[in-house]
């Protein structure tokens, strides 16, 4: 049974429909990442689950108990939902020490003072904050503050934790460390985590499941591999990874394959659109790493010859920019290339036609 | 918002009590204005008689006209002067700015009544300067009791209000706009006229309306300076009306109050709208960038002298007169100052039990009463805090209403409420009634102080307490209130200053047990006790100065 289930949740804020029917389920030991462009309603969804925003329809159950049901008029207040919440700004109380911040939820639950002290110390220790209990939040680094915020959200043992862009205030290096640490912690504590993020690389790395929100609805949900390798819509394809996007006219379609005309080239690819689009404008999308530089080739199906415009060294690979009539293509390649024209292979199983 | 589900009933009760507190006096006044006699008189009947009577009084129309002219005249003096002060203080390299800065705000905290006494004893018919002038130079060219003197003094003493708003608007102007004008060849004066001042028009417009509104409210200055010539404004007309028909003519007073509120209310709402525009104007510009100041060059010292001269004329002159007068036994033409110097006034002062209890009461109502007042405002502020509800919007309008009641009106209204409500009657002759009136009059101002502290608390800090398991009330107690402590302390200090300064609100409540310095000097002045009045005024100023020093020491921002 799901530890967190949201069904057809709808929210209106200031007269605008923000969530237009969002559903999701989440089990212990799972991390679900909420991904989506700015303003798509990620924070709103998280806050609604916590009871900080008021939906007008749908249901939310936490650990089997219904905490919100628009039709039945059930609406548990925030404090009764027993969730962990990590705020983007961390929201550490500036007038309390680290230990007092963490101990607060235990105090509310009437836990004896010595048990409180031990539990807090254990939690701080497990997050590598053992010696910082007496400090005030402003005396900590960004990474330490983030861990205090997590400690505060976990100390009373909630099964469901909600995290709103918990890593976005950290610098790039720290963020990578923190994301591994966070994933390990969630698995170790066997939590059900719902985490908002802006960063698709972060979502791919940390999540068991990704929900891509767009305009208040779930555009696509699935494992990171599904989301990355089998996008169902142009929006999902474009949102995940780095892409080449080529406009053309859809010429034919059969057996899940489609072909698209771009200038004098005819590209084959996987059909991601209905057959009534034949004869109309469409787009071909291929990831940068899907394009092969095929020097020595004599051309052929899905091969194009383009001029190298510029090259960039990215560390683990090179990125090259090619241009020809009607098309500009970026490609990853493991070495530098000589200037002039090059053959590129766009394998049909890596090209999606929308 | 679901997060507020718990605790909404408490919030509703607080807002309902606030509404009752504000509306009861207003409704009582309205009711009284339609009666033929005081409300306690069994013969009183509903009628428009009082309106007819007042509207047929030439004195009423004269007072209304005088009030309008005073308000216009004050605005015409204060706004340009305040804008000039603000420009010189914030945008130029005038010398002595850091010294002048706190001094500029002093007139806001001094009681206008005290200033008026100060003017009378210095440049009144037998004032120190008048007498010396007569001795050495002949007939003086001024007449303190004329209408033009009243307008001039009111204008000069109210300029700091304009300065406050204009200066904060100017500080948020990017300096490169002025530099651009300098580069194209404009002199400092032109820069001010062509660039700086037009950019702060919304702030100036707001302060213009504010001053006009204050012009309708002034009581102390016209009472002291206008009365001897029979010059009445609406508030002093109201005060004189008390026994027009030989019996207390409450119905006539109620009509005058209705007129005052009818004029003031639109002005209050206009201020609210204008303040919003002015703030939007500032917000759009964003944070101020430190830029070079306009170099005044040859005008540096003349500019300094202008401000110093204004301060000397508006504060120093009356204050020195007051202090001096409190140390002489008598004064007039042909008296040698050295022969009349004495400490007797102060000795006598402390033998007068009414005076002593006025001082004690003033201090008590400012400190203890002020703390209770801030506690009440905090409760009201918390009831509205982060609650998206029609109740909050209703409360927002309700708390504006007392702004439309000048102190003397609110004091009168509270006096009537205590007279009208049987269970409250015994409390009417206690300091509690005075405290209630003060709390009502300063509701909008004090609540804004508390609310701006509440606004500074990031919502996530409270939400974080909610998700870990605290209810609404608990989250307020454990997170919100600890975080606004400093703001509440600052608000308390400001309210203390204001309560010590108050004079008009307690006038109608004055009696044994309820005397405070402000109301007592009004009544003693009417009785001609110049010695006692000047001594009490000096004590009043000393208390305010003490409070100001403490506030400055603690880094309290003296304006909201
Ligand atoms: N109180 C509110 N009243 C009206 N509209 C709101 C309110 N709060 C949020 N919105 C709107 O709801 C939409 C979704 O906001 P939300 O904060 O959930 O987006 P988000 O996906 O978290 O974006 P970001 O990635 O920028 O954090 C936005 O268009 C926002 O303008
Ligand atoms: Mg967000």
Express each pLDDT in B324-333 by its tens digit.
Answer: 999 998 887 7
Chain A segment 26-55 residues within 8 A of B by beta carbon are: 50-54
B123 and B240 both lie in a single domain: yes
Express each pLDDT in A200-216 by its tens digit.
Answer: 888 999 999 999 999 99
- Interhelix angle A98-108/A142-154, rounded to 10 degrees, is 10
∠ CA A187-A188-A191, rounded to 5°: 55
**Mean pLDDT (whole number) for A85-95:** 92
Per-chain mean pLDDT for chain B: 88
Query: Which domain-ending residue is among B342, B374, B400?
Result: B342
d(CA B234, CA B262): 12
What is the DSSP track for B328-367? BS---TT--HHHHB-SHHHHHHHH-HHHHHHHHHHHHIII
**Mean pLDDT (whole number) for B435-449:** 94
d(CA B487, CA B456): 10
d(CA A150, CA A204): 21
d(CA B269, CA A20): 39
Question: Which alpha helices (DSSP H) does B352-469 contain, by range?
Answer: 353-364, 370-384, 390-398, 407-420, 431-441, 443-455, 459-467
pLDDT at B292: 66
B179 and B265 both lie in a single domain: yes
**Shortest distance, CA B274 to any CA of chain A (angstroms):** 25
Asked if residue B132 is part of any domain, the answer here is yes
Cβ–Cβ gap B463/A52 under 8 Å: yes
CA distances from B14 to A93, B4, B20, B398, B466 (A): 27, 15, 10, 13, 22
Residues within a 6 A CB radius of ligand 1: A 13-14, 16, 18, 36, 38-44, 198
d(CA B37, CA B46): 9
Q: What percent of chain A has pLDDT over 90?
A: 62
**Residue B465: CB atoms within 10 Å:** 26
Any chain A CB within 8 A of the CB of B9?
Answer: no
Which residue of chain B comes nearest to A151, CA vs CA?
B468
B306 and B407 both lie in a single domain: no
Express each pLDDT in A132-142 by its tens digit.
Answer: 999 999 999 98
Express each pLDDT in B115-129 by its tens digit.
Answer: 999 999 999 988 899
pLDDT at B279: 67
d(CA B112, CA B154): 9
Cβ–Cβ gap B6/A108 under 8 Å: no
d(CA A117, CA A132): 14
B185 and B319 both lie in a single domain: yes
Q: How far is CA A100 from the centre of its chain?
A: 32
pLDDT at B174: 72
Asked if residue B172 is part of any domain, the answer here is yes
Query: Which domain-ending residue is among B286, B312, B342?
Result: B342
CA of B227 relative to ligand 2 center, distance in Å: 65
B3 and B65 both lie in a single domain: no
CA distances from A228 to A194, A255, A290, A351 (A): 19, 22, 12, 13
Any chain A CB within 8 A of the CB of B482?
Answer: yes
Burial of B134 (0-12, 13-18, 19+ CB in 10 A): middle
pLDDT at B272 over 70: yes
Going by alpha carbons, the residue nearest to atom 22 of ligand 1 is A43
d(CA A329, CA B519): 85
d(CA B548, CA B558): 9
Rounded to the nearest 5°, which phi and psi values hold at A199?
A: -105, 115
∠ CA A150-A156-A160, rounded to 5°: 65
Cβ–Cβ gap A78/B463 under 8 Å: yes
pLDDT at B557: 75
Asked if residue B415 is part of any domain, the answer here is yes
Q: What percent of chain B has pLDDT over 90?
A: 59
Give the count of alpha carbons within 13 A of B228, CB side only.
15
CA of A66 relative to ligand 2 center, distance in Å: 25
Which residue of chain A comes nearest to B466, CA vs CA?
A79
Any chain B CB within 8 A of the CB of A132?
Answer: no
**Mean pLDDT (whole number) for A41-60:** 94
Rounded to the nearest 5°, which phi and psi values hold at B192?
A: -60, -45
CATH architecture group of domain A243-353? Beta Barrel (2.40)
**Residue B78: CB atoms within 10 Å:** 27
Largest CA distance in chain A: 79
What is the DSSP track for A133-180? TTS-GGGS-HHHHHHHHHHHHHTT--SEEEEESTTTTS-HHHHHHHHH
pLDDT at B560 over 70: no
pLDDT at B50: 92
Are the beta carbons of A299 and A312 closer than 8 angstroms? no
Q: What percent of chain B has pLDDT over 70?
A: 95
pLDDT at B246 over 80: no
The DSSP code for B429 is G
d(CA B63, CA B45): 28
The DSSP code for A67 is E
Domain count, chain B: 2
Query: Which domain-ending residue is among B327, B342, B357?
Result: B342
Rounded to the nearest 5°, which phi and psi values hold at A346?
A: -110, 90
Which of B454, B477, B465 is CA-nearest to residue A92? B465
Q: Where in chain A is the domain with CATH 3.40.50.300?
A: 4-234
Q: Which of B3, B457, B461, B469 to mutate to test the interface with A (most CBs of A within 10 A)?
A: B469
For B271-320, give the secondary structure using H, E and C: HHHHHHHHHHHHHHHCCCCCCCCECCHHHHHHHHHHHHHHHHHHHHHHHH
d(CA B217, CA B214): 5
pLDDT at B5 over 70: no
Q: Which sign, positive or negative, has the C-alpha torsion B502, B505, B508, B511?
A: negative
B405 and B475 both lie in a single domain: yes
pLDDT confidence band for A296 (50 / 70 / 90): confident
pLDDT at B280: 65
B511 and B408 both lie in a single domain: yes
ipTM of the complex: 0.81
Any chain A CB within 8 A of the CB of B477?
Answer: no
Are the beta carbons of B408 and B221 closer than 8 angstroms? no
Give pairs for B283-286: CB < 8 Å, separation 24+. B285/B172, B285/B173, B285/B174, B286/B172
- Which residue shows structure tokens 């530098």? A336
B518 and B552 both lie in a single domain: yes
Question: Which alpha helices (DSSP H) does B184-249 contain, by range?
Answer: 188-191, 197-199, 201-217, 220-221, 234-240
What helix, strand, coil percent values describe chain B, rounded to 5? 75, 0, 25
d(CA A62, CA A50): 10
pLDDT at B138 over 90: no
The DSSP code for B194 is I
Any chain A CB within 8 A of the CB of B468?
Answer: yes
Asked if residue B323 is part of any domain, the answer here is yes
d(CA B366, CA B497): 7
The DSSP code for B46 is B
d(CA A137, CA A94): 6
Provide the terminal-to-terminal Cα distance of chain B, rounded to the nearest Å: 29
B312 and B405 both lie in a single domain: no
Which residue of chain B comes nearest to A162, CA vs CA?
B467
Are the beta carbons of B209 and B103 closer than 8 angstroms? no
d(CA A275, CA B178): 65
Which tokens hold the place of B402? 């007392």
Stated as kind and residue range, the H or E segment containing B254 is helix B250-285
B370 and B312 both lie in a single domain: no
pLDDT at B188: 74
pLDDT at B286: 42
Are the beta carbons of A102 and A151 closer than 8 angstroms? yes
B348 and B240 both lie in a single domain: no
Asked if residue B206 is part of any domain, the answer here is yes
Cβ–Cβ gap B464/A109 under 8 Å: no
Residue B386: left if φ>0, alpha if ψ -120 to 50, beta else—which one?
Answer: left
**Shortest distance, CA B445 to any CA of chain A (angstroms):** 27
Instruction: Work out whether strand A57-62 and strand A84-86 pair parallel, antiparallel, or are unpaired.
Output: unpaired
CA of A126 relative to ligand 2 center, distance in Å: 28
pLDDT at B330: 81
pLDDT at B559: 61
Domain that holds residue B485: 1-33+343-560
Any chain B CB within 8 A of the CB of A95?
Answer: yes
Rounded to the nearest 5°, which phi and psi values hold at B402?
A: -60, -20
| Nearest CB partner across the interface for B461, out of A83, A85, A91 | A91
Q: Which of B8, B464, B484 to mutate to test the interface with A (most CBs of A within 10 A)?
A: B464
Which tokens hold the place of B135? 């001795």
Contacts of B63 (CB under 8 A, 6+ apart): B232, B233, B234, B236, B237
Are the beta carbons of B95 and B301 closer than 8 angstroms? yes
Which residue of chain A comes nearest to B479, CA vs CA?
A93
Any chain B CB within 8 A of the CB of A138?
Answer: no
Q: Where in chain A is the domain with CATH 2.40.50.140?
A: 243-353
**Residue B539: CB atoms within 10 Å:** 19
pLDDT at B291 over 80: no
CA of A233 relative to ligand 1 center, distance in Å: 23
- What is the homologous superfamily of the domain A4-234 according to CATH? P-loop containing nucleotide triphosphate hydrolases (3.40.50.300)
Substitution site in A17, A42, A215 for ligand 1 pocket (most atoms within 8 Å of beta carbon): A42
Express each pLDDT in B485-520 by its tens digit.
Answer: 999 999 999 999 999 999 999 988 888 888 999 999
Asked if residue B38 is part of any domain, the answer here is no
Express each pLDDT in A202-260 by its tens digit.
Answer: 899 999 999 999 999 999 999 999 999 999 999 999 998 889 999 999 988 888 889 99
d(CA A343, CA A292): 9
**Mean pLDDT (whole number) for A92-119:** 94
Which atom number of ligand 1 is nearest to the Cα of residue A15?
4
CA of A75 relative to ligand 2 center, distance in Å: 23
**Mean pLDDT (whole number) for B196-205:** 85
Contacts of A82 in chain B (CB under 8 A): 469
CA distances from B403 to B163, B263, B406 (A): 21, 12, 7
Contacts of A109 in chain B (CB under 8 A): 469
CATH code for the domain of B524? 1.10.3720.10
The DSSP code for B95 is T
Any chain B CB within 8 A of the CB of A105?
Answer: yes
Q: Which residues are bridge partners to A162 per DSSP?
A: A85, A194
Are the beta carbons of A337 and A320 closer than 8 angstroms? yes
Any chain A CB within 8 A of the CB of B471?
Answer: yes
B376 and B324 both lie in a single domain: no
CA of A44 relative to ligand 1 center, distance in Å: 6
Q: How far is CA A243 from the centre of its chain?
A: 17
Express each pLDDT in A12-50 by its tens digit.
Answer: 998 899 999 999 999 999 999 999 999 999 999 999 999
Q: Which sign, positive or negative, has the C-alpha torsion A154, A156, A161, A162?
A: negative
């Amino acid at each position: 049974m799901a530890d967190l289930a949201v069904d057809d949740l709808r929210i209106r804020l200031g007269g605008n429909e923000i969530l237009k029917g969002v559903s999701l389920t989440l089990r212990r030991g799972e991390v679900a990442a909420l991904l989506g462009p700015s303003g798509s309603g990620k924070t709103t969804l998280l806050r609604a689950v916590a009871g900080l925003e008021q939906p007008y329809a749908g249901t939310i159950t936490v650990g089997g108990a219904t905490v919100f049901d628009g039709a039945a008029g059930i609406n548990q207040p925030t404090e009764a939902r027993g969730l962990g919440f990590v705020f983007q700004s961390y929201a550490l109380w500036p007038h309390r020490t680290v230990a007092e911040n963490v101990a607060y939820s235990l105090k509310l639950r009437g836990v004896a003072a010595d048990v409180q002290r031990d539990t807090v110390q254990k939690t701080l220790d497990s997050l590598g904050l053992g010696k910082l209990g007496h400090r005030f939040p402003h005396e900590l680094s960004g990474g330490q503050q983030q861990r205090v915020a997590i400690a505060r959200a976990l100390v009373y043992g909630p099964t469901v934790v909600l995290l709103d862009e918990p890593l976005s205030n950290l610098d790039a290096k720290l963020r990578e460390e923190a994301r591994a640490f966070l994933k390990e912690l969630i698995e170790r504590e066997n939590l059900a985590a719902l985490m908002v993020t802006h960063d698709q690389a972060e979502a791919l790395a940390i999540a068991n499941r990704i929900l891509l929100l767009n305009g208040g609805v779930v555009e696509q949900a699935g494992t990171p591999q599904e989301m990355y390798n089998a996008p169902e819509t142009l929006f999902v394809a474009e949102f995940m990874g780095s892409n080449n996007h080529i406009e053309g006219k859809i010429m034919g379609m059969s057996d899940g394959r489609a072909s698209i005309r771009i200038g004098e080239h005819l590209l084959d690819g996987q059909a991601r659109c209905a057959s009534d689009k034949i004869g109309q404008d469409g787009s071909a999308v291929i990831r940068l790493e899907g394009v092969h530089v095929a020097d020595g080739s004599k051309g052929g199906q899905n091969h194009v010859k383009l001029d190298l415009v510029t090259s960039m060294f990215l560390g683990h690979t090179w990125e090259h920019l090619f241009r020809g009539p009607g098309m500009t293509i970026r490609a990853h390649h493991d070495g530098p290339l000589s200037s002039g024209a090059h053959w590129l292979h766009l394998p049909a199983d890596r090209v999606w036609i929308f | 918002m679901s997060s507020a589900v718990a605790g909404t009933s408490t919030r509703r009760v607080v807002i309902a009590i606030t509404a009752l507190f504000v509306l009861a006096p207003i409704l009582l006044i309205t009711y009284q204005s339609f009666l033929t006699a005081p409300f306690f008189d069994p013969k009183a009947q509903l009628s428009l008689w009082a309106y007819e009577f007042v509207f047929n009084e030439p004195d009423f129309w004269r007072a209304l006209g005088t009030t309008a002219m005073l308000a216009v005249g004050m605005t015409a003096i204060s706004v340009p002067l305040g804008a000039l002060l603000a420009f010189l203080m914030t945008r130029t390299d005038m010398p002595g700015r850091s010294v002048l800065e706190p001094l500029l705000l002093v007139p806001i905290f001094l009681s206008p009544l005290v200033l008026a006494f100060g003017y009378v004893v210095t440049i009144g018919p037998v004032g120190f300067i008048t007498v010396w002038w007569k001795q050495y130079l002949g007939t003086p060219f001024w007449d303190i009791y004329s209408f033009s003197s009243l307008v001039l003094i009111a204008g000069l003493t109210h300029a700091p209000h304009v300065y406050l708003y204009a200066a904060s608007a100017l500080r948020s102007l990017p300096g490169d706009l002025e530099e651009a004008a300098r580069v194209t060849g404009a002199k400092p004066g032109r820069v001010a006229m062509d660039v700086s001042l037009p950019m702060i028009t919304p702030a100036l417009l707001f302060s213009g309306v504010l001053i006009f509104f204050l012009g309708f409210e002034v009581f102390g200055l016209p009472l002291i300076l206008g009365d001897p010539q029979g010059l009445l404004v609406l508030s002093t007309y109201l005060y004189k009306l008390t026994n027009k028909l030989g019996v207390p003519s409450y119905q006539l007073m109620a009509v005058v109050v209705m007129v005052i509120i009818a004029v003031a209310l639109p002005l209050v709402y206009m201020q609210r709208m204008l303040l919003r525009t002015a703030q939007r104007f500032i917000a759009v510009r964003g944070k101020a960038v430190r830029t070079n100041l306009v170099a005044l060059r040859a005008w540096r010292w003349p500019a300094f002298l202008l401000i110093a001269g204004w301060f000397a004329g508006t504060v120093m002159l009356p204050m020195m007169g007051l202090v001096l007068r409190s140390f002489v036994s008598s004064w007039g033409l042909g008296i040698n100052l050295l022969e009349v110097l004495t400490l007797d006034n102060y000795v006598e002062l402390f033998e007068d039990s009414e005076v002593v209890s006025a001082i004690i009461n003033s201090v008590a109502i400012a400190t203890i009463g002020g703390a209770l007042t801030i506690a009440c405002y905090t409760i009201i502020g918390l009831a509205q805090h982060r609650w998206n509800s029609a109740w909050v919007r209703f409360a927002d309008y309700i708390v504006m209403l007392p702004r439309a009641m000048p102190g003397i009106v609110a004091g009168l209204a509270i006096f009537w409420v205590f007279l009208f409500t049987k269970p409250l009657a015994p409390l009417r002759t206690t300091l509690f009634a005075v405290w209630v009136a003060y709390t009502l009059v300063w509701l909008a101002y004090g609540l804004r102080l508390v609310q701006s502290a509440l606004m500074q608390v990031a919502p996530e800090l409270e939400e974080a307490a909610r998700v870990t398991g605290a209810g609404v009330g608990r989250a307020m107690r454990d997170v919100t209130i600890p975080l606004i402590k400093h703001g509440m302390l600052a608000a308390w200090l400001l309210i203390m200053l204001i309560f010590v300064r108050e004079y008009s609100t307690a006038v109608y409540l004055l009696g044994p047990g309820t005397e405070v310095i402000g109301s007592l000097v009004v009544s003693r002045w009417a009785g001609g006790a110049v010695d006692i009045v000047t001594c009490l005024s000096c004590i009043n100023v000393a208390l305010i100065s003490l409070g100001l020093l403490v506030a400055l020491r603690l880094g309290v921002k003296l304006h909201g």
